Each structure stands twice: as C-alpha cells, then as structure tokens.
Structure 1
Amino acid sequence: MATITRRRRADGKLAYRVQDRTTGFPSLSETFPTLKAARDYKRKIEAERISAQAGIRRGRQTLAETIDDFKESADWRRRKSANDTARHLAWWSARIGQLPLAKITPDLIADHLHTLEAQGRTGATVNRYRSALSRVFRYAVNTRRWTDHNPCSMIERRPEGRRRERVITPDEWRRLLAAARELAKAEPKQRLSESERRYSPRAQLPNFLRVAYGTAARKSDVAWLRWEYVDLGEKVVTFPDPKSGHGYSVPLIDDALAAIQEQAELRRDGCPFVFPSRKGNDRPPAFEKPFAAARALAGLDQPDARGEVLTIHHLRHSAAT
C-alpha cells in the first residue's frame, strides 16, 4: 500500500510525498504541495493497482486460495459462527478447492449438495454448506473482484422442516449442570497450565450453561457477550446484536447473575468477553465439544420421542417456556 510522508522543502514550506512499493509493480514516488492532493493520488494509484492485481488473478484464482484469503479478512474475524463456517469451507476445499473460480458452476455445486442429502443430512444442514460457500463467492465478487458472479445465488435453499421443539425438563437440567461441573473438575487429557485450565471451554461450561438457561439468549449471543453490555449493579445484561437485528435486555436473576459474577474473576486486560478464551482475546471459546461430553455424561445424548437430540439451543426453548 502507498504511504504519505510529510517533508519540509528547502524554502521552508511543507510538502507531502507519496510512495508505493507494491510487489510486482514499478516503485512510485511523487510530491504534492497539499495533503489533500497527496491523499487523492494515493487513492488513485491504490485503486489502479488493486484493479490490476484482480485482473492478473481473474480466472485462475482457485477456490482453496479464495477461502484462505477470505479467512484472513475482517469479515471473517467478525463472524460469530466462524467455527461452523470453517468446517463447512474445509469440506468444500477438500472436494473442489483445486478448481479455479471460473470453473465452479451451479450444477457442480448442486451435485455436491445432493451428495450431502444422500448421506442423510437435513435441509438445514445442506443450507449451511451452501451459505458458507456463497459467502466466499460474495467476497470474491465484491471485495476481490476475482469473479463476476456468485453461482450459489442460482441454487434454491432447501426446506428446513419443522423447528426444534424439545424442552429440557428440570431433572434433565440438574443432570446436565452436574455433569458439566464434574467435567470442569476432571483432569484434562492434554497437559495444561493452571491458567490454561481456568480459561478452557470445559472449565467455563457450567457458567455458560447457567447464563444461557437463565437468560433464554441464543448460544452465539451468550458466547460473544461483552463486559460493556453487563450491568451487575442494575442486574441487567444487554444483547445488542442478535440474529433478529434488534437488541434486547434481560434481567439477571439467581443462577445467571451468580454465574456472571463468577466469570468476573476471569476478567483480564485486553479481553472484552465475559467468557474469555485461553487462545487469545479476539474471540470466545467454542463450547460445542464440552457440551457434547457433558450431555453424554448426563445420559442425555439419545434422541427424544420426536427424534431430537438435546442441543445448547434447547436451553433457550426451555427457559422461555
């Protein structure tokens, strides 16, 4: 990217030098009497070189390369469902990642989605695989200009059938929470420091479940909850960016309040999340695996009469009833 450096000329007046040393292009250096002129020139040459780079890659950029580039973007880092999307994209990359974007057609994508259906995947799951690939193509079209169209837009979404309706009973809730607490105290398979153990998903799972059950909030909203949206004095938590697009506040009562107060002991500088990760401050931990382990330990991993296996999302149904 081009840079602007302020300089003082021999006559004492200020000047602004724009330099660009983008790999693969001739070096440029121009001086301007005003900052506005320098910024205008900087934007111009950056736009020209981005367009030229897109033209060089256009038609030969593979899907795997595009996925890797997408996962380095700001859009990817902002995603709450990055773990699920990464799994879906890895599936696509393993099957058609070697193909250039120009050779990935709606028919080819449809054939692979039919393969998922033949394996017994539900309409909702197939739609998630389609959506993950569609995000990559939107990125390639709108941000990188590596292709002109998104082939996923020509594929209809599958019907997703009935909504999940399972409700966890008070007895099942007690068993699940007891199992989560037992796992939190158990010795992990891998050797971790005391600090790593405290910040592990397994150690924080009981409090995560207590907040999810006590607030009836979505799994992602609880996992990504930030301290700036928690008011322990007023005993209120605000979820500002739920899937519906409208923020909402929930009173913290009893167990949910106690759980967040316990999480305050894990609060650390630079981490905005109520549930911090031992791997860094840019995203919270993933609770799916420890939840599955707690569910099995509690004997709740079998489908109910409707064929539904207990998920974290069912805590939201249970709290709302």
Structure 2
Amino acid sequence: MATIEKRTDQNGATSYRVKIRLKGYPTETATFDRLTDAKKWAQLTEAAIKEGRHFKTTEAKKHTFADAIDRYSADVLPIRFNSTEQRNRLPMLEWWKAQIGHCVMADLTTANFAQARDSLAKSGRKGKPLSPATINKYFVVAKDILKRCVNEWHWLEQSPLRDGRVELPELPRGIVRFLDDEELARLTKACKESPNQLLYPAFILAISTGMRQSETMNLYWREPETPPTETAWGVVNLAESCIILHETKNGDRRRVPLTSLALVELQKLAKVRRLDTTLVFPSPTHPHKPIELKKAWANALKAAEVNNFRWHDLRHCTASYLAMGGASMVEIAAVLGHKTLDMVKRYSHLSDGHIANVVERMNNRLFGTN
C-alpha cells in the first residue's frame, strides 16, 4: 500500500515522498513537488505492480512481445527442442506474434492473454473451437517465452502468466488403457511368435521402460556420427545396463534403466545385430532407418484378440503397473520423463491400495495397533 510523506526543506520548499510497499514486491519510492502528482503516481504504480506491468529497468519498454518471440525462435528453439517439436511450436509462435506481438513488454497484462485465450477458443478449423489441450499447448509456449524474458534476458521482472493468473480450460481426464493379466500374456505370446523378429524385443523394451515409440525405435548401439535431427533418439549402454536418451519430447536428456527381460533381449540382439547400421531396430530394406512395425503389431493384436489398444498404450501400461506396484506419482513421472505431475495424475486411482497402506502405517505409529 502507498504512503505519502510531506517534507519541507531548510528553504521552506515542500515536496511529497511516495513509498509503495506490497507484499512480495520490492519497495518503490518517488518524490514530487505537487500532492496531486504524488497521488496519481502512487495509484498508477500500485495498479501496475499488481498487474505485473511495472518494471525497474527500461528493458521492458524497449522490446515488444514480437522481439521476444523472434529471439526465442532464433536462440532457444533450435537448441532446446528437436526438429519435430520445433515444427509444432513454429505455428504457435507465429500466432502469438500476430495476436499480441505489437505489445510493448511493459504493457503486457493478464488481460492481453485472457483475450488471446478466448480468441484461441474460437479459432478452430471448420468453425469448431480448439480443444482445451491445444489451447494449453499455446500457453505452454507463451509461458516459456515469458520465463526466459524474466530469468535470462531481464526484459521483465515478472510474468503476466505467473501463478495461474489466466485461467485455462480444464483438460479432460485422460483415458488409461492398459493390459490386464490375460491380455498381457496373450499379446506377449503373439509378439514372440511373430515372423518379425524385432517385434518381441521392441515390445518388451517399450512396456518395461515406458519409453515413447519414437524413443524406442530410434535407439543406437553407439553414438551416431551424425546425430539425428528429425526425432527423439538414444544410445544403448549395455555395460551400465541403461539407455541414454539424448533427445526427448520435452527436450531433456534422460537415463532409462535396463533390467530383467528387457536387458536380456537387448543383450541377445547385440550378439546378432547387423554390421551395416548402428540402429537397434533397423529396417530390413533401409538399414539406416528404423523398422516399420505397424503391420506386425496389428497382426499380433489380432492374434492375441486385444482390441482398442495402440503402441502408445504400452506407455500407459508401464505407468499403471508402477502405480499398482506402489510407486509414487513423482517416481512415475521420473520414469516416463514428465516434468510435472499433471500428466501422471490419471494413474493415481490405481495406487489407492498403496496410499491406504501408507495412511495405515502412519496411524499405527501414532496410535498403535488394536
């Protein structure tokens, strides 16, 4: 809140010193000759601070949001994300630039982004609104730009999108499709009996690690001379029983442990692997490209009588089995490579038994058993 102190110097001249103190923000002060000017500055500055528009530096007045988008596109996008994610983000960056790129950083408010959210909701194809998931993706990009403006470039002191100030559409609960014990047994048998000898080890690896399909199919036995640019990829390290994913969907490097049957199957493959490629799962006709398992996978699903199941659902299986085995949401997120817990909340109901046991143990410690 603002306080105004009347001051008189030795010559009898009067001035008014304004001091603004708001919790969580640095104190702002200014001095004026007229009381009306002091009151006006106090009112405008306090409102600007609350709305995230007041900045000590002049950088916020020098740059527009379009400048931030251009810098992000040139300096962050090519280094931080693989080419697939770059292609996904470029149209979103162009949309933000056209929508509010003209705004000076100092003038960006939550109202600008709330209006942009409403525009997104009406800008779908064929007159249909964009899905909540798509709208959220646009805001993931905007938040990333603003975060760098604050933390790295010092163009802003605070982001207008901090602390969830713009309410985004709620995401629908994700569908969790995982194999029950009988389905798992049948599908494992069908994959093992497939004429395609790479289907079974790929299946075992995917369900054992929770890796995405692109991560599984773009594995190398050693670091390739020319790193792939089109998708996620990683390197198998049998000596340390792990896989190092150098590129992932969220841009982070990830270490994936190899244990049990997944490790055994990769050890078998290593003994009979092709010498004309370093890919773990190469195409039979184009050895420097990953194999296409679509047909073999469809045949295995049909033979196992497993319906409504995609390769990506193997990732859900991994998470579901971890939850049912008592793994925490934090542990599941670490295995799957998620930065936040939002994406793994869908599996929380599967760990109810584990949570009940935790609560019971706590109560036993506090009150003893009957």
Category of TM-score, reference length = shorter chain: 0.3 to 0.5
TM-score (norm 2): 0.41
User: Which structure has the bigger radius of gyration?
Assistant: 2
TM-score (norm 1): 0.46
